[in-house]
């Protein structure tokens, strides 16, 4: 049975700054993801705080929110069979040092903060995160 899902992907400021946007989009498309929606924006720190609310008790929360709001990002809705898990596999481990060969974070990530991409971690969170960026 098919299980087409949507997930939220963000190309983070470090990757936009290095002009990696098109290369990363090509990787998604070559792996069979459809880019259903996309929006290039810069968000306020207060919006980043809302987006990353699940991490609010973590020691890295403040830096994380500063960082996500520090420059333009590209938010995308990706669609594919089992998109949530497939996107997480393609991104690789959160820390680029631990990411496997062939993953986006291995190829482009600089550090655990500047890890180039974000992807929803569950179908439930994907719905919330898509709504966050694409309400209208
Ligand atoms: P992301 O998938 O966007 O979700 C939360 C982000 O927090 C994560 O990617 C990392 O960039 C960042 N982060 C910073 N420090 C840590 C940490 N120690 N553990 C997990 N995530 C971290």
pLDDT tens column, 23-48: 999 999 999 999 999 999 999 999 99
**pTM of model > 0.95:** yes
Nearest CA-CA partner of 116 in 133, 134, 132, 95:
95
Mean pLDDT confidence for 81-108: 98
The pLDDT of residue 82 is above 90: yes
Distance in Å, CA 135 to ligand 1 centroid: 25
Distance in Å, CA 94 to ligand 1 centroid: 6
Q: Is 61 helix (H, G, I), strand (E, B) or coil?
A: helix
Indicate whether residue 113 lines ligand 1 (CB < 6 A): yes
Per-domain residue ranges for the chain?
A: 4-133
Indicate whether residue 94 lines ligand 1 (CB < 6 A): yes
Contacts by residues 38-41 (CB-CB < 8 Å, ≥ 24 positions apart): 38/74, 38/75, 38/76, 38/77, 39/74, 39/75, 39/76, 39/133, 39/134, 40/16, 40/72, 40/73, 40/74, 40/75, 41/72, 41/73, 41/75, 41/133
pLDDT tens column, 51-70: 999 999 999 999 999 999 99
Distance in Å, CA 36 to ligand 1 centroid: 25
Fold of 4-133: Alpha-Beta Plaits (3.30.70)
């Amino acid at each position: 049975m098919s299980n087409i899902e949507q997930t939220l992907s963000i190309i983070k400021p470090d990757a936009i700054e290095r002009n990696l946007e098109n290369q990363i989009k090509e990787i998604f498309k070559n792996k069979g993801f459809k880019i259903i929606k996309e929006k290039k924006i810069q968000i306020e720190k207060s919006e980043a705080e809302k987006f990353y609310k699940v991490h609010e008790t973590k020691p890295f929360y403040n830096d994380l929110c500063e960082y996500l709001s520090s420059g333009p990002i590209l938010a995308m809705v990706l669609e594919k069979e089992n998109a949530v898990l497939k996107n997480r596999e393609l991104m690789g481990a959160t820390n680029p040092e631990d990411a496997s060969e062939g993953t986006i974070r291995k190829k482009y990530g600089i550090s655990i903060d500047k890890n180039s991409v974000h992807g929803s971690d569950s179908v439930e969170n994907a719905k919330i995160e898509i709504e966050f960026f694409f309400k209208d």
